[in-house]
């Protein structure tokens, strides 16, 4: 590191915490530590290894891994930051490994949790693992198509730790792996000590989690020469366990790097446990909802999220922010962030659907509505009540709207329609007795009813 570089980081006994002032100068394309400029790293372990790591990364292509336990049937935006970090490694010529915890998903990581995770059946864990694998594959493929700038990429390796644990018995595991761990050290981990002080304590199952994650890294080192692990800042204890195990068994230097945890405006962690998860699966969080989540980013946070979640250069991000500050009401920075993240997670088609949904839900263009296919209509208005109906001669707006559930009573329907609070395909009518015509049916064979500005109802004509 140059003598002129600001070394604004704080040394603890075993690892280094980067502050936002650190700038790592390197012209080598493999220099992943340059990502510190974007705020993508929090800690590095061991703490005195920064120069050693930088030299190793410059010397040749390295292997790095991150783990994802299948405790749900989708990853979420907190996991996305880890995937984005892996993509930066991949773009710089390194081999990345995404490890799915088909075995550790049965155990549950106690990090940052006050209670034990519910036990999951093997069938559910395997099903979740398949879904998470699809999340990961989609993100890597969308990156290759839209953000890799034509770089030659090493294909990611997606592995499942169940594949090696199913071949080991408990006696072999405890006898071979367990002997390298010391109780005092294990009890001293933050994830353990905090839980032991709690009213419910910690089960033996959760207590062993750090041993399994440590062995995962040892296995990947032996199988893929994997010398780097990345994870959220809550994973430092588990990373240290893996480092110590490999140091004892293989006597080679390995390194762990943690990333900042993404927080909500209220300071809550974005994740499944916090109850406010935004998922990468389009079934659980639609492309539109993902898009809107990032569009709603506060001005105070948008620059940092552009650095963390997009692949724009720092100079490009500065230009985006300069334009945004000139006209903040246009949400220029938020829209770039939302477009890039939605494209990374759902591809171009997902972005188009998100933007189309935004236009239709927040606009009133009947021509755009008429362009929808039946599948698109169901996707755009997926939260709207759906009623299948047969068009009968003489049916009025009151008849259709009450049958569709728009109003609890006929008198309510007449009152609100007469007041102008009801539209059919964005066309307003104040006549409750207007006859519903074939012309009120869209080419998709649907009619869109709206009460007020935000209450939508779909009618499918059969």
Same domain, residue pair 211 and 68: yes
Residue 14 lies in a domain: no
Measured distance CA(447)–CA(366) in Å, rounded: 11
Domain boundary among 328, 363, 398: 363
Residue 25 lies in a domain: no
- State percent of the chain over pLDDT 70: 87
Measured distance CA(276)–CA(260) in Å, rounded: 18
Domain range for 415 is 383-461
Same domain, residue pair 197 and 49: yes
First to last CA, the chain: 71
- Mean pLDDT for 280-286 is 94
Question: What pLDDT shows up at residue 408?
Answer: 95
Same domain, residue pair 83 and 198: yes
The pLDDT tens digits for 257-279 are: 999 877 756 666 654 445 678 99
Residue 27 lies in a domain: no
Same domain, residue pair 38 and 83: yes
Same domain, residue pair 406 and 436: yes
Better-predicted residue by pLDDT, 108 or 244: 244
Same domain, residue pair 417 and 323: no
Please state which of the ranges 63-72, 105-114, 190-199, 281-290 shows the lowest mean pLDDT.
105-114
Same domain, residue pair 186 and 295: no
Question: What pLDDT shows up at residue 271?
Answer: 46
The pLDDT tens digits for 147-199 are: 998 888 999 999 999 999 899 888 888 878 877 777 767 677 777 777 777 77
Same domain, residue pair 155 and 71: yes
CATH number at residue 450: 3.10.290.10
CATH number at residue 293: 1.10.240.10
Residue 370 lies in a domain: no
Measured distance CA(185)–CA(148) in Å, rounded: 42
Domain boundary among 218, 247, 262: 262
Residue 15 lies in a domain: no
Same domain, residue pair 101 and 232: yes
Query: At 337, phi and psi to the nearest 5?
Result: -60, -50
Residue 194 lies in a domain: yes
pLDDT-derived band at 28, boundaries 50, 70, 90: low
CATH number at residue 189: 3.40.50.620
Same domain, residue pair 415 and 358: no
Question: What pLDDT shows up at residue 439?
Answer: 95
The pLDDT tens digits for 355-372 are: 999 989 888 888 989 999
Residue 118 lies in a domain: yes
- Mean pLDDT for 43-51 is 89
Residue 281 lies in a domain: no
- Mean pLDDT for 383-390 is 94
Same domain, residue pair 408 and 292: no
- Mean pLDDT for 284-288 is 94
Domain boundary among 262, 297, 315: 262
- With 50 as the cut, is the pLDDT of residue 5 above it? no
Provide the number of structural domains found in the chain. 3
Same domain, residue pair 150 and 99: yes
- With 50 as the cut, is the pLDDT of residue 11 above it? no
């Amino acid at each position: 590191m140059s003598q002129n570089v600001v070394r604004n980081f704080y040394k603890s006994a075993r690892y280094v915490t980067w502050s936002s002032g650190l700038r790592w100068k390197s012209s080598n394309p493999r220099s992943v530590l340059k990502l510190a400029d974007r705020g993508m790293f929090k800690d590095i372990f061991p703490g005195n290894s920064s120069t050693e790591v930088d030299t190793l990364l410059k010397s040749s292509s390295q292997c790095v891994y991150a783990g994802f336990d299948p405790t749900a049937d989708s990853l979420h935006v907190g996991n996305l930051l880890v995937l984005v970090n892996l993509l930066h490694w991949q773009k710089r010529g390194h081999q990345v490994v995404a490890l799915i915890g088909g075995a550790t998903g049965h155990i549950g990581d106690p990090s940052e949790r006050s209670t034990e995770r519910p036990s999951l059946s093997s069938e559910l864990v395997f099903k979740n693992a398949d879904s998470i694998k699809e999340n990961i594959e989609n993100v890597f493929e969308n990156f290759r198509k839209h953000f890799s700038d034509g770089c030659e990429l090493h294909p990611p390796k997606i592995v499942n730790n169940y594949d090696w644990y199913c071949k080991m018995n408990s006696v072999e595991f405890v006898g071979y792996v367990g002997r390298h761990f010391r109780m005092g050290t294990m009890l001293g981990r933050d994830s353990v000590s905090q839980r032991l002080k709690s009213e419910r304590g910690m089960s033996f199952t959760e207590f062993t989690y750090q041993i399994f994650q440590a062995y995962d890294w040892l296995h990947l080192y032996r199988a893929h020469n994997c010398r780097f692990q990345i994870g959220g800042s809550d994973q430092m204890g588990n990373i240290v366990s893996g480092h110590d195990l490999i140091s004892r068994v293989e006597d080679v230097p390995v390194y762990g790097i943690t990333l900042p945890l993404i927080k909500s405006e209220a300071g809550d962690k974005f994740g499944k446990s916090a109850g406010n998860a935004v998922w990468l699966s389009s079934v659980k969080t639609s492309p539109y909802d993902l898009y809107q989540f990032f569009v709603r980013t506060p001005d105070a946070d948008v620059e940092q999220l552009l650095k963390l979640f997009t692949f724009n250069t720092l100079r490009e991000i500065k230009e985006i922010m300069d334009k945004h500050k000139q006209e903040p009401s246009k949400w220029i920075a938020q829209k770039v962030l939302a477009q890039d993240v939605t494209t990374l997670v759902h591809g171009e088609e997902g972005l188009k659907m998100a933007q189309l949904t935004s236009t239709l839900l927040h606009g009133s263009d009947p021509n755009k509505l008429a362009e929808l296919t039946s599948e698109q209509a169901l996707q755009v208005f997926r939260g709207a009540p759906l009623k299948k109906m047969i068009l009968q001669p003489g049916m009025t707006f009151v008849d259709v709207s009450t049958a569709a559930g728009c109003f609890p009573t006929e008198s309510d329907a007449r009152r609100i329609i007469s007041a102008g609070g009801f539209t059919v395909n964005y066309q307003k009518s104040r006549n409750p007795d207007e006859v519903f015509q074939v012309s009120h049916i869209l080419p998709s064979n649907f009619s869109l009813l709206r009460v007020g500005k935000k209450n939508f109802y779909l009618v499918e004509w059969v």
